[in-house]
Amino acid sequence: MFKNKINQTKLLFFGYPSNTTTSYTGGHLWMKKVADHIEKNSHYSVLKIYTHYASDKLPFKIIYSIVNVIKALVGYPHVAILDAWGESNILLWILLRLLKPKTKIFTVFHHHEPRILSCKNFFDSIYNFIVEKAVVSMLKDSDIILTVSQASKLQLNNIYGIGSDKINKIKEKADKKNNKLTKNIKNKITIVGTGIDKNFSFKNKNKEKIKKDIDFLCIGRIEKFHGLEKIWIQIKEQLPNAKLVVIGRITEENMGLLCKMGIDHRGFVSENDKISLYSKSKVFIFPSSMEGFGIAVAEAIYTDIPVIAWKLPVFEEFYLKDNRIKIKLIEFGDYNLFANECVKTLNEYGNTKENDEEKRAIFQFPSWQNVAKNVMTTIDSLNINL
């Protein structure tokens, strides 16, 4: 429950990962990092509602969702920050509008991800079609949409039809010394960004050289990858002894299929294990078909590992401004070129002089502290009446 303090804005984060969760996907990670930073460094009273379910069975998920929504409503927040993905967020949005109409609703949008593509039958298709329509309604009804990149904002404009001509104007009021973006807060969509941990490193305390025994590393949700299997088959044709390690969310069925192909998929791993894998890897491959930012790509670049990825708008936005950044973007669907670039990059490994500090100075890596400041600036601009 909120800490009761007089004249203090009550801020709800709905979708905060539970304490029992050791690994997070991008959306949960964003919610956790931003909520924690704001709780520690702001004047807001913060309530964090967990939405991690102890069971995958539908009846239990429904019960957990209802309980979480009730907790959120009882808190009577002045501002509710919801995720654009998930039925419980939709339910809370509807009830807030009905029961707490003065609450300002902020929806976090990372990227467009069609639910209907993953449907297994007709009923799944109908259900997900309804959910997608509800998500669009929630986004359009939100007071503010927080997003992570210009590419994500364009998706809101082009796919969802949400733009500055269809929203309520917000008065420009913010401390320009604290945040450059605030001078542009004139519409419903606000780019607040995503961060990476600046202490993310794998320095060897004993100053011993770390053995790079992983040829290729890939991190992410398997359902977002496009052509990973085809790319790997072509890599193996040229490099029969190549090693690929993948981590992230995956079903047992898909893990078994990848294992048969010689892919070492380890599922979710701890943060320390992830850092260790980065330290042992030569090339980072990322055949994701949809990204709003791509934290794993930013981490790989930060740790000076060359990256091969599909040519997505967000990667063009961030990484093509300087050709010294070690990333190769491949036209979407060209599996042969993707595989060839992977092989070429691996063969070139070790031929160039590494300079971590010089490489890191090329791209200004975002911090979670700055993202949290961006969110707070956006909240303050609303002039909420307590």
Identify the domain containing residue 235 by its residue range.
Answer: 214-362
Q: Which helix (H) or strand (E) holds 245?
A: strand 244-247
Q: Do residues 157 and 236 share a domain? A: no
Q: What does R_g of the chain's alpha carbons equal in angstroms?
A: 22
Q: Where are the beta strands (DSSP E) in 142-257?
A: 144-147, 189-191, 214-219, 244-247
* Number of domains, the chain: 2
**How close are the terminal C-alpha atoms of the chain, in Å?**
18
Identify which has the larger pLDDT, 10 or 175: 10
- Residue 182 pLDDT class (50, 70, 90 cuts): very low
The predicted-structure confidence for 210-250, as pLDDT tens digits, reads as follows 788 999 999 998 989 999 999 999 999 999 999 999 999 88
User: Considering only 55-59, 91-95, 335-339, which range has the smallest mean pLDDT?
Assistant: 55-59
Q: Do residues 191 and 246 share a domain? A: no
- 159 secondary structure, DSSP code: T
pLDDT at 188 over 80: yes
Q: Do residues 303 and 285 share a domain? A: yes
User: Considering only 97-101, 136-140, 380-384, which range has the smallest mean pLDDT?
Assistant: 380-384
Examine residue 269 and state whether it is found in any structural domain, yes or no. yes
Q: 345: which 2 tokens?
A: 């990059």
pTM of this structure: 0.84
CATH of the domain at 129: 3.40.50.2000
Angstrom distances, CA of residue 142 to CA of 26, 171, 190: 21, 17, 12
Angstrom distances, CA of residue 200 to CA of 112, 134, 167, 283: 28, 38, 39, 18
Does residue 47 contact residue 70 with C-beta atoms inside 8 Å?
no
Q: 7: which 2 tokens?
A: 């004249």
Q: Do residues 53 and 132 share a domain? A: yes
pLDDT of residue 55: 52
Which residue's structure tokens are 């202490």? 199
Does residue 298 contact residue 196 with C-beta atoms inside 8 Å?
yes
Does residue 11 contact residue 379 with C-beta atoms inside 8 Å?
yes
Q: Do residues 346 and 235 share a domain? A: yes
Q: Do residues 171 and 274 share a domain? A: no
Q: For 123-127, what is the mean pLDDT?
A: 79
C-alpha–C-alpha distance, residues 100 and 347, integer Å: 60
Q: For 356-365, what is the mean pLDDT?
A: 57
Examine residue 182 and state whether it is found in any structural domain, yes or no. yes
Q: Do residues 135 and 237 share a domain? A: no
The predicted-structure confidence for 27-44, as pLDDT tens digits, reads as follows 788 999 999 999 998 889
Examine residue 201 and state whether it is found in any structural domain, yes or no. no
- Residue 306 pLDDT class (50, 70, 90 cuts): very high
Residues 6+ apart with CB under 8 A from 382: 79, 104, 143, 144, 170
Question: Is residue 236 helix, strand or coil?
Answer: helix
- Residue 52 pLDDT class (50, 70, 90 cuts): low
